[in-house]
Amino acid sequence: MTDSHSTRFVAVVKLTQKDTSMRSSVVRTLSRAAVLVMLAISTLGTAALAGELAGVTLADTLKAGVKTLRLNGLGLRKKAVFKVYVGGLYLESPSKDAGAILASDQAKAIRLHFLRDLTKAQLVEAFQEGFEANAKEKAAQKAAFDKMLALVPDVKEGSTLTFAYLPGKGTTLSAGSKELGILEGKGFADAVFSIWLGPKPPSEDLKKGMLG
């Protein structure tokens, strides 16, 4: 091999090595970009599962006895221009059918996260209106409903009330993590959950949000 041929050969080898190095660098860059995209998608998915509305984040799961319920949807309760609470509906399996949710004898829960302070009297009035407008068996459930209303406390901004129904046990009313009382019977649960899922909910937007 002549000196000129040798020089050209070395030059070709160096160019080939440089080209291979550039390709490797591009592959590494694209791989890192793909990882970042997957992490971003994962983060967005986690945020969506948690359920965020009006600055409130509701957990994607809720325990009712031994059952783990999943967030079906959440909606905002407004009165005039005021934001009152974010309501989340938790079910064993997703559903957009309010009638089917009420009819099924499965565990379910509604959690209210309050966006303002409310007195017991204000809450009792609102729940009473919902009961009168939606409950199918008012006379049969009136006494039990009055017992539940007696348990309702004043609430502060940021606090929660949870109504959780478990077949065979009944409906548990909780303020934060504290259980206030349990009312037996599916008929009673139907009356309570119909406040938000019945034909005349506090607002249609709230009901639609809970139904996902």
Q: If you average pLDDT over each of 44-48, 53-57, 90-94, which comes out highest?
A: 90-94
Tokens at 108, concatenated: 């379910």
Residue 129's pLDDT band, with cuts at 50, 70 and 90, is: very high
Q: How much is the pLDDT for 30?
A: 39
CATH fold of 52-210, please? Chalcone isomerase (3.50.70)
For 67, the token pair is 């059952």
Who contacts 20 (Cβ-Cβ below 8 Å, separation ≥6)?
Answer: none
Predicted confidence (pLDDT) at residue 21 exceeds the cutoff of 60: no
- Residue 132's nearest CA partner among 147, 114, 123, 145 is 145
Closest by CA position to 91, among listed 110, 119, 112: 110
Asked if 202 and 82 touch (Cβ cutoff 8 Å), the reply is no
| DSSP classification of residue 202 | S
Q: Which amino acid would we find at residue 126?
A: A
Contact 109, 169 (CB under 8 A): no
Query: Residue 104 class from Cβ within 10 Å (0-12 exposed, 13-18 middle, 19+ buried)?
Result: middle
pTM attached to this predicted model: 0.76
CB 101 within 8 Å of CB 95: yes
**Domains of the chain, residue spans:** 1-50, 52-210
Q: What is the pLDDT of residue 146?
A: 98
